A and B are shown apart, each in its own frame.
Chain A
């Protein structure tokens, strides 16, 4: 896995773990875990997550990409980020 992608996945997973309470200690957060079906997500978490991705990885998510499906797991967030990065580079 390229270093950029690895870094993205590690940082994003950490952010989610530090900011959400919904995960049982017994449940592992993997890159495929749908973080929204695993429990309640409040609107401030959503906004924090979006701000985190935009600031940390220097992207701007346009309105039409602000979709639940783009943020449901670390995998989908990576797809979105790499797509936006690809478009801007």
Chain B
């Protein structure tokens, strides 16, 4: 075991240091011994089910990119009792790069948070060529996945073990959405969404830290904060740390939003605002901004916001601009200071109910 760990360290040069969110498995000679389509009596590799379960509890998702007959492979996975752990399994005869691309698109998370594990160098290179951000590793390392820095470095919040369940609820939502006739807003209205904003409590801090690490697209600055820093802000009299939870008729999306506000003289400054990609299509980013706009307006504060453009947060720029924020200042590093004029604050959308404490 120690030898193989050293080997992985020397061979694999991590393509990124981002925490891993998803492991994509090959099946033949990776997840199990043997080649199913050649009629082998395949057997799960020793300990592989435990690895899958352990990662699942850490909140890491699993999927499959395998060249096989879908029905045959699914039957085997069910027989082994592991089928439910895999989201959007891609079992077909397409290039694996296209399977990985499809999984990435369905899960809506960055390619730089993926591991692809396969015994065939050809397949790893094919995926790597199209998705250079994906960490491609040989199946011989499956037992030490948990030991990899990019996996064990991620903190585990109480939210983590629910992550797969949330994605599965989301698949149900999407199925219903696809069959729905009407505008996207009409569909949202059928969900009965409740958006709850509350002061962060000590119990929220692990998840809050995790949100700053994991959220890339709907993140106003991309700056990450440690547990200790967030704890300081939570206790500080001149700051407010708010967390948001979204629920609908299918269940809870968990704590999906975080805001850090600083109060100084007559200015209320949004230092950080982020929303999990889980709710990117739910139209609630502007609910949070509307809440802050109304809050500032009612308490006589000027409302400003720090914004730092990252390669991934274009949607956040759009959200701020379309919510009526205007650029007040921009420094040489491209850091923007936004200000909202606080005139004609818009209302909340009809399809979501706001709950504040």
Contacts and interface: CB of A to CB of B under 8 A. Distances in A.
Contacts of A36: 322
B309 A43 contact: no
B144 to A, nearest CB: 40
Nearest to B334: A63
A50 interface: yes
A40 B315 CA distance: 18
B336 to A, nearest CB: 9
Contact of A47 (B185, B315, B324): B315
A88 interface: no
A6 interface: no
B209 to A, nearest CB: 25
B283 A43 contact: yes
A66 B344 CA distance: 21
Interface string A10-31: 0000000011110000000000
A47 B284 CA distance: 13
A46 B183 contact: no
Interface stretch (B234-242, B258-266, B346-354): B346-354
Given A19-B184, A40-B347, A63-B309, A68 B283 contact: no
B183 A43 contact: no
Contact of A71 (B281, B282, B322): B322
A23 B314 CA distance: 27
A55 interface: no
Interface in B312-347: 314-315, 317-319, 321-324, 344, 346-347
A4 interface: no
B89 interface: no
B318 A47 contact: yes
A46 B322 contact: yes
A68 B327 CA distance: 12
Nearest to A70: B321
Contact of A40 (B314, B319, B348): B348
Interface residues of B, number: 27
A67 B338 CA distance: 12
Contact of A46 (B319, B344, B348): B319
Contacts of B317: 63, 66
A66 B186 CA distance: 27
A85 B167 CA distance: 40
A45 interface: yes
B286 interface: yes
Given A18-B183, A19-B184, A43-B283, A68 B324 contact: yes
A42 B318 contact: no
A50 B321 contact: no
Contact of B286 (A37, A42, A50, A68): A42
Contacts of B282: 44
B283 A67 contact: no
B220 to A, nearest CB: 12
Contacts of A68: 321-322, 324
Contacts of A43: 283, 285-286, 315, 318-319, 322-323
Interface of B: 183-186, 280-287, 309, 314-315, 317-319, 321-324, 344, 346-349
Given A20-B183, A43-B322, A45-B283, 7 more contacts: A18-B183, A21-B183, A21-B186, A63-B309, A63-B317, A68-B321, A68-B324
Top 9 nearest A-B pairs by Cβ distance? A42-B283, A46-B322, A43-B285, A43-B319, A43-B286, A44-B283, A21-B185, A42-B286, A46-B318
